[in-house]
Amino acid sequence: MPALRAEPIAPLIELTQSDVENLGPQVLLLADDSGQLSPFDILQPEYAGEWTEHRAHSISRGYDDTPFWIQFRLDAAQSIHKEWHLVLSNALLDYVDVYQVFGNSGPRLIYRSGLQRPNQSRIEDHRFFIVPVEVYGPTTYLMRIETSPSALVPLHAYPSDDFWSPLLKADIGNWLFYGVLLAMVLYNGFLYTTVRDVSYLFYVLFISGFGVLQLSLDGYLAQYLWPPDLIYHYEYNFWITLATVIFASFFVIHFLNLRHTSRAHLWALYGMIALQCVAAGLLVTIDLDWFARLYTPTIIVFMVLAVSAGIRAWRVGFIAAKFFVLAWVLFAVGNSVFLLGRLLGIEAPLPPNLASKLGSFAEAMLLSFALAYRIRLLRDEQDRQRMRVEAQSQFLAQISHEIRTPLNGVLGMTEVLSRTRLDDEQRGYVDTIQGSGSSLLALINDILDYSKIEAGKMAFRREPVDVHQLVQQQVKLFLSQAEHKSLALTGDIDPRVPAWVMLDAQHVRQVLSNLVSNAIKYTDRGTVKLALSVDPKAPRLLEFRVEDTGIGISEVDQKNLFNLYSDVDPGRQRKAGGTGLGLAISRELVALMGGTLTVSSVPNQGSCFTVKLPFLQARQRREETRLTAERPLNGLRVLVAEDNMVNQRVIEGLLEKLGHQVVLASHGGEAVEARQSDDFECDVLLMDCEMPHMDGYAATEAIRAYEKSQNLPRLPIVALTAHALEDVRRRCIESGMDDFLTKPINTRHLERILAQYVQDP
């Protein structure tokens, strides 16, 4: 056996009665570049000059992953304790070999374990490596450690079994930390399922990833959660880190709403996410020590990005960002201490793992608070938005009512005037008044429709509809407009389309009317066609197509075509009329019915608007008796409850022109008195809803109560109101009314409703 050299000799560490002795600042280190040195080799004279002193509290080799040797000397001559335990407080050391040097016989192996060796090799069942030794006089120990880069190795000597108490306290502290993280994950996961804010989801994924990383670094993952027959590798920590940074980046993007607060930070974080994908490729191709050198700066850059993005969002008025910034500053400080200690061996007042956990704990709590604060702000904003929409809807409804009332007088009296003897010049004037009034009414209806859609109050009703007849009616409706411009308006119905289907006929007519009207408006020559077929790729979709040979639409204009107040040609719009709301409303209506509205067009060649709607085949309705204007409508005695004098004259004039007798009541109370009189002989009651003394709702309820108490037949009551909202219609029906007419009164609608109550001769 080669002679052993007594030098170099590590400083003698005298073990006393203290609970623990930190051996880190009193050891010698030797790098084993070849990885082949034996304990006998390192004690040879040629290696005497290779040993270096170590003064830090924890042993660290930074990025270097080459094996290294540790030499230290213990002396327990002055201590009552002779049995000691050496504790290496790093659970992720790949290989740990401990030798005791016995005089002239040389080093002898007393302990062999490590992460890459079976757990059974550990003398004590703990995540750390615990080596029992007996120390009497001066004794030299050698340790060979082989592990991944950035390993930090705290080395302590405990008398007897005193190590269990501090290690147990550390475990309790760690599990409290993990308990807090788990609570944050569960709580915010529950909130995500409730509010469906994706920020909560990425927060949960980020905190979960960081928690798993800490479990791995602390050794719990390998000891308790990893399959015992599989080797746990240090590189798994980098995979976990990659995923955690990706989740954290998405969290920052969504929490701070960087799409609106900072586009520069948004793209920087997207770049960071892409960089993690590149790093994943490098992780499987290059050595782990080089990967650690290259990847560590990206972690620092990410933390700087997160803090700067928070500051930017704070500066532009996002109040919750102040908690976000504080959280990420604390996280960055704690984990910077961790990185500096693990990778560069820089001493800090706190152990690196503890600094990381304290920073992470503070961040988790502050971010959870920031999320809650953010949700409160969003809910407040949603409440303000809802109140704004409701106020706007109510304002528009009231304005509509105030406009409809005088407009009813204009259009109503014009309608009465048109039924008198007029010469051509006078009829032209009347037609102009009617056309202008109808345009104003269409504008009011468009605005009301969009306000109802925006407020979520648009009602839909699917019913059996003869869809063939619906298309034919649309063609007939616009035939005169097309002929006026010398256009050919045609309808084309695929015979494979069932005649009777379940659809919301009212809103389908509204959409088709808008599309056909637009097609005629923007076509100067050629044809307009309304076609109906079944989508060949989806047999349960009806396909309505409105094709024209008009001016067409450029690709740029098509992108904004369905936006509010957009128009292909503003000059053409001023000439042809229109609000710019029609297509926006049509797309919203189609979407609410579960369908799609699309356009394809070529400038100067024409356009094709396609509506696809889901449908169910329906049974044919029994033929209803069709009451038309040709059937005699005289013989009705109509009671009209209306407080406005102009409206009284309009309704009276219209009814008399239709051949009916009129009885007027100036408010609801008079209508109730008339119904309760012994000589009441009216057939129908037209009831205004808003009147002094007693409104139409209260009057209707009083009449229904009287009829029930006297066992009288039900008098048909038709609401007559300037309100066009569904809420008003519903309230009318609930109060006991039978039908609903809006002002300005449409003569055809009035005829249709009154025709239901004409008795057969």
CA dihedral 298, 303, 309, 315 (to 10 degrees): -150
Helix residue spans in 491-611 (DSSP H): 505-521, 555-560, 570-576, 582-592
Q: How far apart are CA 188 and CA 713, in angstroms?
A: 62
> Please, which residues bridge with residue 415 across strands?
none
pLDDT of 396 reads 62
Alpha-carbon torsion 573, 577, 581, 586, what sign?
negative
Measure the CA angle with vertex 296, ends 95 and 113; round to 5°. 10
Task: Find out whether 111 and 123 touch, Cβ atoms under 8 Å.
Answer: yes
The reported pLDDT for the residue numbered 359 is 79
The pLDDT tens digits for 103-162 are: 777 899 999 998 888 877 788 888 889 999 998 888 899 999 988 766 678 888 888 878
Give, for 684, the enclosing helix (H) or strand (E). strand 684-688
Strand order in the sheet with 717-721: 661-665, 637-641, 684-688, 717-721, 739-742
Give which of 299, 285, 301, 348 is closest to 57, Cα–Cα: 348
Contact present, 671 and 658 (Cβ < 8 Å):
no
The secondary structure of residue 18, as a DSSP letter, is S
Length of the chain as a residue count: 761
Query: pLDDT category, 590, cuts 50, 70, 90?
Result: confident
- Which of 311, 312, 358, 308 has its CA nearest to residue 333? 358
For residues 240 and 280, what is the distance between their CA atoms, to the nearest angstrom?
11
Q: Are 183 and 134 in contact (CB under 8 A)?
A: no
Dihedral angle computed from the Cα positions of residues 18, 22, 23 and 24, in that order, rounded to the nearest 10 degrees: -170
For the ranges 142-146, 497-501, 620-624, 629-633, the lowest mean pLDDT is seen at: 629-633
- Cβ atoms of 353 and 128 closer than 8 Å: no
Cα separations in angstroms, 6 against 23, 39, 45, 49: 21, 14, 9, 13
**Average pLDDT of the chain?**
81
Highest mean pLDDT among 16-25, 348-357, 652-661, 711-720: 711-720
Q: Write down the H helix ranges in 219-287.
A: 220, 236-255, 258-261, 263-283
Cα gap 66→37, rounded to integer Å: 12
- Give the Cα separation of 47 and 29 in Å (integer): 11
Q: Could you write out the DSSP letters of every residue in 518-556?
A: HHHHT-SSSEEEEEEEE-TT-TTEEEEEEEE-SS---HH
Query: Over the stretch 321-372, which tens digit does the pLDDT of each residue have?
Result: 888 888 888 888 887 777 776 555 566 566 777 777 887 778 878 877 777 7
At position 90, the amino acid (one-letter code) is N
Q: Are the CB atoms for 586 and 453 separated by under 8 Å?
A: no
pLDDT for 245:
93
231's tokens: 């080797």
What pLDDT, on the 0 to 100 scale, is given for residue 576?
46
Residues 232-272 have pLDDT tens digits of 888 888 899 999 999 999 999 988 888 888 889 999 999 99
Q: Write b or e for each residue in 429-452: b if 16 or more Cβ atoms lie within 10 A of its Cβ, otherwise e.
A: ebeebbeebeebbbebbbbbbbbb
Q: What does the pLDDT average to over 688-693? A: 85
> What is the rounded CA–CA span in Å between residue 204 and residue 186?
8
* Contact by Cβ (8 Å): 573, 580: yes
- What three-state secondary structure class fits 368? helix
